[in-house]
Amino acid sequence: MSAGQRAKPARRPVDRRKRTATKPRPRLLRRSLAFLLTLVLIAFCGGFLWFLLNAYSPSVPPVHADGIVVLTGGEDRLATAFEMLDERRADQLLISGVPADVSLRDVERSAQLARPPAASHVTLGHRALTTVGNADETALWVASHRIRSLIVVTAGYHMPRALLELSRAMPDVTLYPMRVQPADIYDGSRPHVWRLLLAEYGKWLLAQLKFSRMATLLRGTHDA
């Protein structure tokens, strides 16, 4: 060895057991991932079961409330809202999400009313295109009419998300759900019924996460 060369320090023996212990074991990772996916699946199914119970629960409207809001999307909803107004369960009715070219006379004709209500008790909302829009439109109407309690009329599968958005827009207003079920919603043999329920459940989950604007992508522009 020359004078200019220095002796290299001897390498320490590698403890292979230590190196192996510090590396994640593939089998442990797979088990952890499978356990996590199982928990997610259980949570999803449990949430969907709650959603179904909520959607199919019978509704009992209060004896009287300050107002009624019906979220358009079905003739049965309109007929139910007009019937409750005729029974004097509320003094004012808002029909939210009405197309701009539709008049009150058109709505009454669509609902096949034998005795149309006084126009002074009915307001048509033409601005809302989504459930979030329904909530914003209803909040403005509630404030202008000084309403503190409100009957909400919409389809049972739409009710969880409707109540969520309405309660966010009007936290001080008491909401009473009035579920109106489509005729074929009880026929579980039809695939489109389950597609509708799962899609609405997905939109409700997005709304829970405050991604309501994304919920409209699951069903075009008119998501109610």
Q: Is residue 168 part of a domain?
A: yes
Contacts of 94 (CB under 8 A, 6+ apart): 67, 68, 69, 70, 123, 125, 137, 138, 141
**What tens digit of pLDDT does each residue of 85-100 get?**
999 999 999 999 999 8
CA 202 to the chain's CA centroid: 8
The whole-number pLDDT of residue 16 equals 55
CATH number at residue 183: 3.40.50.620
Say whether pLDDT at 187 is over 60. Answer: yes
Report DSSP state, residue 218.
B
pLDDT at 221: 41
The answer on pLDDT for 73 being more than 50 is yes
Q: How far is CA 124 from CA 3, 131, 207, in A?
A: 100, 16, 26
Residue 221 lies in a domain: no
- Give the pLDDT confidence of 130-178 residue by residue, as tens digits: 999 999 999 999 999 999 999 999 999 999 999 999 999 999 999 999 9
Query: What is the rounded average pLDDT of the residues 173-189?
Result: 88
High-pLDDT (> 90) share of the chain, %: 47
One domain, residues 44 and 153: no
Is the distance from CB of 196 to CB of 204 less than 8 angstroms?
A: no
Residue 39 sits in the same domain as residue 108: no
Name the DSSP letter for residue 94: E
- pLDDT-based confidence at 222, cuts 50/70/90? very low
Q: Three-state DSSP class for 182?
A: coil
Cα–Cα nearest to 132, from 201, 36, 203, 38:
203
Q: Are 39 and 142 part of one and the same domain?
A: no
Distance, CA of 77 to CA of 84 (rounded, Å): 11
Q: What HEC string does 21-71 produce?
A: HHCCCHHHHHHHHHHHHHHHHHHHHHHHHHHHHHHCCCCCCCCCCCEEEEE
Is residue 223 domain-resident?
no
**Residue 199 confidence class, pLDDT cut points 50, 70, 90:** very high
Residue 83 inside a domain? The answer is: yes
Does 71 share its domain with 34?
Answer: no
* 35 and 107 both lie in a single domain: no
What pLDDT does 147 receive?
96
Structure pTM?
0.78
Residue, of 10 and 115, whose pLDDT is higher: 115
Q: What is the mean pLDDT of residues 56-80?
A: 89
Q: For the residues 105-122, what does the mean pLDDT come to?
A: 80
Kindly report the number of other CB atoms within 10 A of residue 91's CB atom. Answer: 14
Q: Tell whether 45 and 73 lie within a shared domain.
A: no
Judge whether 11 lies within some domain: no
In a domain, 62, yes or no: no
Residues 91 and 163 placed together within one structural domain of the fold: yes
In this structure, the answer to whether residues 30 and 123 fall within a common structural domain is: no
Judgement on whether residues 30 and 79 belong to the same structural domain of the protein:
no
Together in a domain, 31 and 97: no
- Considering the domain architecture, whether residues 41 and 129 belong to the same structural domain is answered as no
Say yes or no: 138 and 170 in one domain: yes
Domain limits for position 44: 26-55
C-beta contacts of 53-57 below 8 A and 24+ residues apart: 54/156, 54/159, 54/160, 55/156, 55/157, 55/159, 55/160, 55/179, 55/197, 55/200, 56/156, 56/181, 56/185, 57/156, 57/179
Structural domain total, the chain: 2
For residues 96 and 137, the answer to whether their CB atoms sit within 8 Å is yes
Is 224 inside a domain boundary? no
Q: Is residue 41 part of a domain?
A: yes
Residues 186 and 135: their CA atoms lie apart, in Å, by 28
What are 2-52's pLDDT values in tens digits? Answer: 555 565 555 665 555 555 555 557 888 888 888 888 888 898 888 899 999
The mean pLDDT value of the chain amounts to 84
Query: What average pLDDT does the segment 193-210 reach?
Result: 90
